[in-house]
Structure 1
């Protein structure tokens, strides 16, 4: 890459992550990223100040309200979304279940819901179960295990005038495939259906623009992009106004609060805002709006991660026993590996003993793992994050070489 020293100072970035001082080379980012100091401090500071339920009468109430407003604005900037359509929840899985139950109230027997074999189970099972309750039919969109590609034609093949919702990932957490969501959106909307996009893995690596993607609902998890454990969903406020979730009688009916059941974790919302601000500071643009700075930062992050991914793939090419199942033309820097004659669980443990964390499994993408012919076992997943560096990669490759010799 060009001019990395001035545009992406990896040493300075790594210095902001206390967990890295333990010496582990983390390739477990797809399962959850490490946390930078500004996020840790934001969580701590929120808890150290007066904090109450939202309101305007006391300092604690005002602090809580400010935290929520700032977190919605930050996530709106990150996703290219209206802050008034940002819903917070415990996790992306919980939000999928909540919205599947709410949307299923509008379905009838004979209606159809589309899910894909590529997705994390949190964007499959809630829809299957909600469809069963409504008497709706589930249709499956397949992907090509040889290429890892899920194409718009794969979605087109299962659409009909009875389709009510399509649930699809923006990026596979198992093999990194990034389907053409904008084109899929056009097909889905031509049928009059809604599009629910799982952006949990995608948001960690690419600047999101939900309007450009054409997503009616877009979910993500801040703990995948340097923030706290939380779930976020973005949708148009006008669409949210048409939906009526089950809720407590005295709780507000205002959007988006009507979807946020119970008191929000204010300290985690403060951490989420800090994570977005931290990301915005990773690029060369330091003077624009937060959205402009995020665009600059994600361009730098993508360039950095792609450079490391190339380094990994070049190194892996020397190992004949290793098969890389991440092959799509458009994909995140996430590689799923299997090793001829060896268990990837054994490889994971071998690497862990050498301070390299690359976990083994199917990572809840069980349908994708089965479609790849890997059963429920999956493989060794190597995922990059903004704090990985070339030395991490060399340690990974050396560890794998040592494992194969052993």
Structure 2
């Protein structure tokens, strides 16, 4: 279990980390919530039998928790098997309104889950795909990179709030103002962003925002947040007798209630990292993410300072505003070799493009990418030092 050290605010304890990029370890309260959901009466949602009431309660608590985490309306929280599945589903729904000559904008900075669904949905509709390029030297994706592509035919812009490969946090709020001025919608991939930042979908200007709770201590599934009134305008394929209200019209079949219970517990766990007080959960989350950001910034500084003097190492994470995620390559060694070397030392630092294949290619790294170092709230200085020692040994080996 992780706790907050009162003297320094440092998060201490818990298992050795798996980087946020690959997913977080699961706290005991989340495991307990999953077990409790399965260990008590559970059935299709309703208001009569105990199992029905338990299921209804779990869903309502999940929606309120995710709404608090994202600054959204609980009625606009949609469950999905994964962020990828949700993006595919909504790309198909939205593409029904596209016509030949319409345009969508995608970014080379993104995970392929926020690129390929839109490209594949655009083709049968006859819509044109336009690409927003980031600067491969600085890693920056300014609002103007999107703004310069917008026309009266633009229907949707898909962009990440934080790159899972190099950590860049684009100016999403600035993009949103330009996108909305053009009369288009903004679909934001927040999977990597929500693991490190306090999210406010209204401030970001996201019409749709997707994330994955396994990045912030929860179970493996996806969540989409949107305004209920926007969701009301969309009509997905569904079974005739299934519910037609939102968000249920987008959630096919019976929900995995145990996963929803675990996600609610993960949000409560995050809120519990804040200083003591009786504030509302949303405000406790704001405090907790401020603590997390300071903690991760200190560790990132320690890591970057040491990497800057290591010969033969190139760090590709250079944007001024970025998450504690570093992509490395080596002058005369393969990143995959470093991955294997560090793994044998008990350090999890994987190699690859991590599905951000367009970003990897744009950086000149092809499909092989590099070595990704990811920090999490429970990482500490000993983890960073162990990683650095392993890299030094790898470079000498």
TM-score for the superposition, normalised by structure 1: 0.96
Preserved contact between residue 285 and residue 296 of structure 1 (Cα < 8 Å): no
Residues in 2 aligned to 1:193 and 1:99: alpha-carbon distance in whole angstroms: 15
Q: 2:351 aligns with which of 352, 360, 384?
A: 360
| Shift in Å, 1:4 | 5.8
**Offset at 1:133?**
1.7
1:145-224 to structure 2, matched below 5 A, reads 145-224=136-215
Q: CA RMSD in A?
A: 1.1
Report the counterpart of residue 396 of structure 2 in structure 1. 405
Matched, 1:8 2:9: yes
Matches of residues 3-402 of structure 1 in structure 2 within 5 Å? 5-6=6-7, 8-11=9-12, 14-15=13-14, 20=15, 24-26=16-18, 28-402=19-393
Q: Relative to structure 1, is the Cα distance of residues 7 and 209 closer, same or farther in structure 2, using a 3 angstrom cutoff?
A: farther
Deviation at 1:211, TM superposition (A): 0.5
Structure 1: unaligned runs, 5 residues or longer: none
Q: State how far apart, in whole Å, the 2-side matches of 1:317 and 1:212 are.
A: 35
Contact 1:112–1:137 (CA under 8 A) maintained in structure 2: yes
Question: Whole-Å Cα distance in 2 between the matches of residues 130 and 200 of structure 1?
Answer: 21
Partners of 2:217 and 2:376 lie apart in 1 by 9
CA-CA distance at 1:54 after TM superposition: 0.5
Give the whole-Å Cα distance in 1 for the aligned partners of 2:180 and 2:43: 42
User: Aligned equivalents of 1:8 and 1:260: distance in 2?
Assistant: 40
TM-score, normalised to structure 2, is 0.98
Q: Is the 8 A contact 1:74 1:273 kept in 2?
A: yes
Q: Provide the rounded CA distance (Å) in 2 between the counterparts of 1:268 and 1:275.
A: 10
Conserved 8 A contact 2:327-2:370: yes
Q: Give SS of 1:376's match.
A: coil
Question: Following the alignment from structure 1 to structure 2, what is the Cα–Cα distance between the partners of residues 359 and 285?
Answer: 36
Map Cα deviations across residues 214-270 of structure 1 (whole Å, 9 max, x no partner): 000000000011100010000000000000011111111110100001111100000
Runs (5+) with no aligned partner, structure 2: none
Q: In the superposition, relative to structure 1, how do residues 7 and 247 fare at CA in structure 2: closer, same or farther (>3 Å)?
A: farther
Contact 2:40 2:51 in 1 (8 A): yes
Whole-Å Cα distance in 2 between the matches of residues 284 and 147 of structure 1? 36
1:359–1:381 Cα contact (<8 Å) kept:
yes
SS at match of 1:138: strand
Distance 1:148 1:85 in 2: 33
Higher mean displacement: 64-73 or 318-327: 318-327
Q: CA-to-partner distance for each residue in 1:313-369, whole Å, 9 max, x for gaps? A: 011122121110000000000000001100110100000000000000000000000
